[in-house]
Amino acid sequence: MDPIVIATGNPHKVDEMRAIFAHKGIAVIGLKDLGGSFHEPSETGTTFEENASIKALSYAQQTGRMCLADDSGLEVDALDGAPGVISSHYSSGGREMGLTREQRDLANNTKLLKALESVPEGNRTARFVCVMCLAIPTNVLALCRGTFEGRIGLPGDVPRGAHGFGYDPLFLLPLPDTRSSAELPTEEKNRLSHRAAAVALMPQEIAALL
């Protein structure tokens, strides 16, 4: 089987998913490995499943290849599941503002801590969610959902950690572990993460298709 195309422009996700899939014996490549330019579809869905399907189908049609796309984000219980599907653009209410990835991460993290400033430590439960969609140009082949449970730390304790991206520096593992997601070594994060949980389900889906 030809390598599956990871349909994202985020190099962090490509590297993370390549490492995870390598343990499953499945070869993957990124969009940049194909060369050329691709149109990024509008993520108009209201759920992770809808947005993952939109992306996977669009890139499969553009490349003519089997594509795997994910939609992922952070759900905070005290915020009724926000940031949710707008996690990447939480600070701007879901709108693209032309910020760099680093600027956007900082703005998102600042807004999240502000939104939770009156929420006590015991009520700051949260989870990273990842929904993966495998598609060919004509239809969706499989959908898998994974989660990574934890909590959002208190200001002063977070942000911390030199690894990861996005909300990783704010996201603490369940007690008794006190580390943030950004403090996890790469191999450990790849084993525990929401993407790892979704990826763990995908090989059996691929095997059934073959």
Residue 126, strand partner residues:
76, 150
Which residues have CB under 8 Å from 22's CB, separation 6+?
none
Angle at 144 between CA 178 and CA 60, to 5 degrees: 120
Would you say 135 and 69 are in contact if contact means Cβ atoms under 8 Å apart?
A: yes
105 is catalytic: no
Among residues 70, 71, 105, 168, which one is catalytic?
71
Scored b (16 or more CB within 10 A) or e, 80-119 reads eebbbbbbbbbbbeeeeeeeeeeebbebbbeebbebbeeb
Structure tokens at 107: 């703005």
Would you say 205 and 143 are in contact if contact means Cβ atoms under 8 Å apart?
A: no
Q: Where are the alpha helices (DSSP H) in 23-68?
A: 31-34, 48-63
Active-site residue list: 71
